[in-house]
Structures are given as structure tokens and as C-alpha cells.
Amino acid sequence: MPSTSRLLRAVGADLLSFLLAASCAGCDEPGAVLCTPCRARLGASPFELRTPAGLRVVAALPFESVAALCIRRLKDAGETVLARPLGSVLREVLRPELAKADAEASAWAVPVPTSRRSYRRRGYRVPELLIRGAGEDPHPLLVLDRRSADQRGLDAEQRIENVRGSMRARRRGRGESVVLVDDVLTTGATFDEAARALGDAGFEVVSAVALAATPRLSERNANASGTRRK
């Protein structure tokens, strides 16, 4: 049986090999999973949005540039090591929402559920990884009650119909405050369905947070705000 020191050396060698073979998720520079300049470009710049049903969402940054590249590597390339720097960005919007949701006790961070198909493909649930990367405990209260089509390529109305009635809560609540969490906000339809399922089960959804929001959603909300001010 190999000694503990030999095992540790083997693990260290494997880790070193991984780092040497790695390339930056933001710029493909070799030798680092995320280089210093790209890490600096991941600073949170929070902004507020509204879902179609009016749920308030705080996004940490736009889904573009380095942020978009890092999220894609986390979701599609299995680079779970990126959950830590991305989780640090999420923490900037998640912790304030959890703290102010309930004056007596922090709210629960509830991840949007991952489909079985996506979980089988990746082996992990991205929103839960990000919550842990933010230093919080995920409360997976939601499950998918039925299979829905891939949201990619669907417009806002199609997304709403696609996810309608697709989620349910694992148990009944007693008015506990929750903050929904997802990696990318596109139209807000998924957040609305999650809020409906939790509300029907007796939980109070006070807000939602996303690591990133797509530019088109940010522009739509900005345009809507500008129209209301006129």
C-alpha cells in the first residue's frame, strides 16, 4: 500500500500537470486557469432587473467578455475550478440579498434546478457550485416536475410557455424567506416559474440573483425604464 507522502506527491504532480496544461478561460493564455488581468476584469458591477412577472433580480455582471467565456468553460468544459472565482463575484450580490431579506435570520439561497440530462452530462449542478463558491449553503428546494425543451433559441414568450408548470417544491414551507440563484439570466422566465413553485408551497421569494445577465435583457429593462420615465 503506498504511503501517505507518496500519495500526496502524486496528487501534487497531477495538480501541477493540470495547471501547466491549463489555459486562461478569459484569453487562452497558457499556464493559468484564470490569469491576473482576466481575474481583474471579473469584478462585480451589480445592476437590477425585473422578470416578466415583476420579480426583482440583481445580476453581478453582464454576460459578455471574460465573464461569458468563464461561465461557458464552467458549464460546457467541466472546469469546476472556475466556480471559486465566479462564486466570489456572485457573493457580492448574494450576501446582501440574503442579509436584508429577513431582519432576524438570513434567507435561504435556493438554486434553480438542473435538468437530469444536464446533470448526467456534467456531473454537477452549476448554480449549487456557484453558491458554495460564494461561501453560502445551497438549499435545493426545487425539482423539475416535467421535462421542458432546451431554452436556447426560444424568444421570451416561448420561454415562458416552455417552463410553465415545470417545477415543484420538494416540501411545504412555513413562510421561510428565500433568494433564488442562477448562473445566467436571459429572459427571467425560469426565475418566475421557480418563484411560482416555491410560492405555491408556502415559501416567500423575496428576490433573485444571477451571476450574469444577457445584454439583451439588460437593454430591454433599460429601455422599459426609460419609457416609464418619459
The tens digit of pLDDT for each residue in 162-220 reads 676 689 999 999 999 999 999 999 999 999 999 999 999 999 999 999 999 997 655 54
Please, what's the largest Cα pairwise distance for the chain?
75
Q: Report the mean per-residue pLDDT for the chain.
A: 83
Residue 51 CA to residue 221 CA, distance in Å, equals 9
The tens digit of pLDDT for each residue in 20-67 reads 457 899 999 998 889 999 999 999 999 999 999 999 999 999 999 999
Looking at the chain, the whole-number percentage of residues with pLDDT higher than 70 is: 74
- Of 182, 185, 193, 188, nearest to 144 by C-alpha is 193
Is residue 110 pLDDT above 50, yes or no? yes
Q: Identify the pLDDT of residue 206.
A: 95
Q: Identify the pLDDT of residue 228.
A: 34
Q: Identify the pLDDT of residue 114.
A: 92
Is residue 223 pLDDT above 60, yes or no? no
Cell numbers found for residue 132:
458554495
Q: Identify the pLDDT of residue 74.
A: 96
Residue 135 CA to residue 126 CA, distance in Å, equals 14
Q: Identify the pLDDT of residue 108.
A: 96
Q: Identify the pLDDT of residue 150.
A: 54
150 versus 73: the higher-pLDDT residue is: 73
12 versus 146: the higher-pLDDT residue is: 146
With beta carbons less than 8 A apart as the criterion, state whether 67 and 212 touch.
yes
Coil/strand/helix, residue 183: strand
Is residue 104 pLDDT above 70, yes or no? no
54 versus 222: the higher-pLDDT residue is: 54
Is residue 222 pLDDT above 50, yes or no? no
CA of 84: how far to CAs of 50, 60, 186, 190, in Å? 27, 15, 23, 24
Count CA within 13 A, CB hemisphere, residue 64: 8
Residue keyed to cell 425543451 = 149
